Amino acid sequence: MKKRVVITGAAGFIGSHLSETLLDRGYDVIGIDNLLTGDTANIAHLVNRDFTFIKHDVTNYIYVEGQVDYVLHWASPASPIDYLELPIPTLKVGALGTHKALGLAKAKGATFVIASTSEVYGDPLEHPQKETYWGNVNPVGPRGVYDEAKRFAEAMTMAYHRYHGVNTKIVRIFNTYGPRMRLHDGRAVPAFMSQALRNEDVTVFGDGTQTRSFTYITDLVDGIIRLMLSDQNDPINIGNPRETTIEEIARTIIQMTGATSRIVYRPLPTDDPKIRQPDITRARTLLGWEPQVQLEEGLVKTIEYFRTKV
């Protein structure tokens, strides 16, 4: 029988790519999304395949008939704009949504994979960030609703693993980009691209020296699936160790789009991390994974997509 995968947040940026790739690899996929930040346009091309879509808020009980082999919990607002506008839904999906998704995995005897984030490291005092680092997070700051929701979700995931014996996986995702990101997502790459393609000023927060590590979506999905199929239960970073300043990526996007945009600087948001770079030793040694797509190659593909949206 074909393996069945339930993906929460399936209509989102990463969830839709996961759905598509798992279908390509011969799985049945059940996608669940309440469309708070997801978009059915991201999964419209999957309708005539072994794909079932259920519109549902996963902070409520999740019912799926029949066998389920894997539960991938990707439901959550994930950009600063989203979780600052939706602080309580962000906390609820990290807590109640994770609880319900784990309950489904436990009931079905399924493997559970949760989308965690590099934000669990906060504004890190360790560089690069290893999975053993506990983080430097402000629980009462505006970003705390996302950071702490994910940290709680990790704790609950490990509790279900230790207490109920659920086969759980935690993927800590670093900055990812690619087609199907929203124009007004608020994250660096879509913001810079949408501004540059309109020849508008490109807004850099802070002085632009803060760093990020950008992973192309196909590399991320490959890492997630390798983790899903592995025997690993401890958290694993999936990200590109190539560190880039925010100003550098802004200038690269302006150049690649042929824009006449200039860079303007705005104050850095509260608790915005100054540095971000994954240590991917675990992913390399335990999963045989490392990124394959160079930044410039991925940006070309992403710009092509954004040209159709601007």
Burial code of 43-60, b = ≥16 C-beta within 10 A, e = fewer?
Answer: beebeeeebbbbebbbbe
Do 193 and 56 share a structural domain?
Answer: no
Per residue in 60-70, pLDDT tens?
999 999 999 99
The pLDDT of residue 1 is above 90: no
Do 144 and 259 share a structural domain?
Answer: no
Do 123 and 20 share a structural domain?
Answer: yes
Do 194 and 160 share a structural domain?
Answer: no
What number is the average pLDDT over the span 69-94? 96
Can you give the pLDDT at residue 38?
A: 97
Using CB atoms within 10 Å of the CB of residue 264, give its burial: 0 to 12 exposed, 13 to 18 middle, 19+ buried.
Answer: exposed
Q: Cβ(266)–Cβ(203) under 8 Å?
A: yes
Per residue in 133-157, pLDDT tens?
999 999 999 999 999 999 999 999 9
**CATH at residue 88:** 3.40.50.720
Q: Cβ(47)–Cβ(97) under 8 Å?
A: no
What number is the average pLDDT over the span 272-296? 96
What number is the average pLDDT over the span 95-112? 98
Do 128 and 256 share a structural domain?
Answer: no
Q: Does residue 180 form part of some domain?
A: no
**CB neighbour list of residue 24: distance below 8 Å, 6 or more residues apart:** none
pLDDT band at 183 (very low <50, low <70, confident <90, very high): confident
Q: Does residue 264 form part of some domain?
A: yes
Tell me the C-alpha distance between 297 and 278, whole Å: 20
Q: Cβ(250)–Cβ(187) under 8 Å?
A: no
Do 63 and 44 share a structural domain?
Answer: yes
Do 52 and 20 share a structural domain?
Answer: yes
Can you give the pLDDT at residue 184?
A: 85
Do 252 and 120 share a structural domain?
Answer: no
Do 204 and 153 share a structural domain?
Answer: no
What number is the average pLDDT over the span 296-310? 96
The pLDDT of residue 253 is above 90: yes
Q: Does residue 68 form part of some domain?
A: yes
Q: Does residue 183 form part of some domain?
A: no
**CATH at residue 248:** 3.90.25.10
Q: Does residue 179 form part of some domain?
A: no
Task: Considering only CA atoms, give the Rg of the chain.
Answer: 19
CB atoms within 10 A of CB 239: 28
Give the active site residue among 27, 70, 121, 146.
146
Q: Does residue 44 form part of some domain?
A: yes
The pLDDT of residue 208 is above 90: yes
Do 284 and 234 share a structural domain?
Answer: yes
Can you give the pLDDT at residue 17?
A: 98
Residue 26: domain span = 4-174+216-240+278-293
Tell me the C-alpha distance between 101 and 84, whole Å: 24
Tell me the C-alpha distance between 233 and 91, whole Å: 24
The pLDDT of residue 272 is above 90: no
What number is the average pLDDT over the span 250-271? 94
What number is the average pLDDT over the span 284-298? 97
> Whole-number mean pLDDT of the chain?
96
Can you give the pLDDT at residue 230?
A: 98
Residue 210 identity: Q
Do 196 and 133 share a structural domain?
Answer: no
The pLDDT of residue 271 is above 90: no
Do 87 and 75 share a structural domain?
Answer: yes
* Annotated catalytic residue 265: no
Can you give the pLDDT at residue 135?
A: 97
For the ranges 34-38, 162-166, 181-185, the lowest mean pLDDT is seen at: 181-185
Rounded to two decimals, the pTM is: 0.96
Per residue in 4-51, pLDDT tens?
999 999 999 999 999 999 999 999 999 999 999 999 999 999 999 999
Domains contained in the chain, number = 2
